[in-house]
């Protein structure tokens, strides 16, 4: 887990578990669209460089190795 001090509109580049639960990591590059806190904890909504929009739990984000 990393502290996400990212503002809306800033670019991000980190690793995230495949399908949100596996121990295989994938690269995520994109722009922050929204930040929030839901029932599962804090999250970021990111628009990836390929155009896909995804919500990701900040608890699962792994800093780039």
For the chain, give every domain's residue range. 11-57
Q: Which is higher by pLDDT, 3 or 52?
A: 52
Kindly give, in sequence order, each residue whose CB lies less than 8 Å from that of residue 3, ignoring residues fewer than 6 positions away.
none
pLDDT band at 1 (very low <50, low <70, confident <90, very high): very low
pTM over 0.85? The answer is: no
Q: Which of the residue ranges 30-34, 45-49, 52-56, 61-65 would you say has the lowest mean pLDDT?
A: 61-65
Residue range 30-47, pLDDT digits in tens: 999 999 999 989 999 999
């Amino acid at each position: 887990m990393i502290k996400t001090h990212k503002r809306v509109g800033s670019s991000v580049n980190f690793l995230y578990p495949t399908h949100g639960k596996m121990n295989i990591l994938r690269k995520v590059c994109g722009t922050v669209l929204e930040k929030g806190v839901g029932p599962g904890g804090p999250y970021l909504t990111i628009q990836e460089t390929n155009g896909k929009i995804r919500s990701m739990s900040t608890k699962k984000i792994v800093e780039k190795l």
